Amino acid sequence: MPLTGFSEPGDPTSERISGGRSAHWLVPVLYAFSAVAFVFDLCRDNTLAYGIIYAPLIATAVFHKNRFSLWILSSIACTLVVVGAFFPVLESDLPDMVGNRVLSILAIAVTAFFVHHARGIQDRLAAETRRAEAAERIKTEVLTNLSQEIRTPLHSLLGVLSLTMASKPDQRQALQQVRNDGKQLLATIDNLLDLTQIEERKLRQQTIDVVKIARDAADNARPAADQRQVNIALDPHRDPDKASAIGDSWAIRRILDNLLANAVRLTPPGGTVSLSVARSAGTVTTSVSDTGKGLSPEVALDFRDNETRTDGCALPEAGATGLALSRRLARAMNGRMTASNLPGSGATVSLSLPAADQQIA
């Protein structure tokens, strides 16, 4: 009989509704308790309705994969109640005995009804979960395929624009603007791809030289900054050994690339983007500051509430896709991102991570 077929450990319904494997130890306990109650019912000469203890036994059907286990358990429990009425001898107080047994069967029936209702809800939620997961997979696949199809011709377009700029100096400024917009679109596509695949990427928790990553990110951002006539100033920590953090090198570099790209785009020609690394209170904080017009109130509110609600209208201005990706990567590394507008002009966005020596201690 399929009475021992527990839900599989990976079954989302078992984990979310039934409480997961942590509650499965109750099943053998209730089985043993019911067996002891049945033995007492057979051996003792009284009218106590031991059968009422079989009601919790019915509730264990929630943990079984087979829906028919509910009716099998209910039938067994009712049979035990009836058999217990005739041992050791038929009671002289027949009305009292019948009343106790009927009460036991009623308790079993009521419990079976509620378990049946719970199983129905469980199955519906499991079906909804499967549909939602399937829809999420389809959405991810469509977005990934679409992004890949866009990236290929976009790379070709950027290459053609670079060649055209070299051959037509009189149109260089207009072509430069088109190329910059194309690069921004390509960066947005890359961020969307990473957002859709972030759950599949396993970030490592290891000691990272934040100063080295900051230098590499600053060097990578300088060509774009030079085109916009923006200066990048790097202020590394004076003691690099104390600026090591716990995190993933790819994720940290990805965050800094996004923050620097946003800062360069928001800074007018002649402005400065500053990148600094500081250590305080067991954390290593890397900050990117610019001399632009600052973050919009919507983006600043997102950072204060630790939510990503920025709508599409703020995307070209503040690089909301990159900020959303950066925040999720920071949370995955047990870090935190903060942002504030500077009193004069511009904004500062910071990434704080646990310091390596603090983690070891």
Q: Which residue has the higher pLDDT, 91 or 57?
A: 57
pLDDT at residue 310 tops 80: no
Mean per-residue pLDDT, 283-297? 85
Buried b vs exposed e over 177-216: b needs ≥16 C-beta within 10 Å?
eebbeebbbbbbbbbbbbbbeeeeeeeeeeebbbbebbee
Take residue 245 and report the two structure tokens written for it. 């953090």
Q: Average pLDDT of the chain?
A: 76
Kindly state the percentage of the chain with pLDDT values over 90.
12
Give CA–CA dist 241/207, Å, rounded.
11
Q: Which residue has the higher pLDDT, 241 or 128?
A: 128
- Mean pLDDT for the stretch of residues 338-348: 80
Instruction: Name which of 324, 334, 326 is nearest 205 in CA terms.
Output: 334
Can you say how many angstroms the Cα of residue 212 is from the centroid of all Cα atoms in its chain? 29
| Of 238-242, 303-307, 338-342, minimum mean pLDDT range | 303-307
pLDDT tens digits, residue range 45-78? 555 555 567 778 888 887 777 778 888 888 888 8
pLDDT, residue 7, reads 41
Residue 200 vs residue 131, higher pLDDT: 131
Q: What is the pLDDT of residue 309?
A: 46
Q: Quick: pLDDT tens for 19-50.
A: 444 567 777 887 887 787 787 777 765 555 55
Is the domain defined by 205-360 classed in CATH 1.10.10.60?
no
Residue pLDDT, tens place only, 171-181? 767 777 677 77
Q: What is the pLDDT of residues 194-209, one digit of tens each?
A: 766 676 677 888 999 9
Q: Where are the domains of the chain?
A: 12-133, 205-360
Assess contact for 342 and 294: CB atoms under 8 A.
yes
Per-residue confidence (pLDDT) for residue 50, from 0 to 100: 58
What is the rounded average pLDDT of the residues 99-127?
85
pTM: 0.55
In this predicted structure, the answer to whether residue 189 has a pLDDT above a threshold of 70 is yes
* CA–CA separation, 289 and 264 (whole Å): 10
- Confidence grade of residue 285 (pLDDT, cut at 50, 70, 90): very high
Confidence of residue 360 (pLDDT cuts 50, 70, 90): very low
pLDDT for the residue 298: 65
Q: What share of the chain is helix, strand, coil (3-state, %, to 5)?
A: 65, 15, 20
Cβ contacts of 280 within 8 Å, gap of 6 or more? none
Using CA of residue 75, residue 78, residue 80, residue 82, what is the dihedral sign?
Answer: negative
pLDDT at position 17 over 50: no
DSSP string over 44-97:
S-S---GGGGGHHHHHGGGGBS-TTHHHHHHHHHHHHHHHHTTSSS--S-HHHH
pLDDT surpasses 60 at 218? yes
- Which range among 108-122, 289-303, 339-353 shows the weakest confidence by mean pLDDT? 289-303
Residue-level pLDDT at 89: 64
- Is the pLDDT score of 313 beyond 60? no
Instruction: Say what the alpha-carbon torsion angle 193, 197, 198, 201 is, to the nearest 10 degrees.
Output: -130
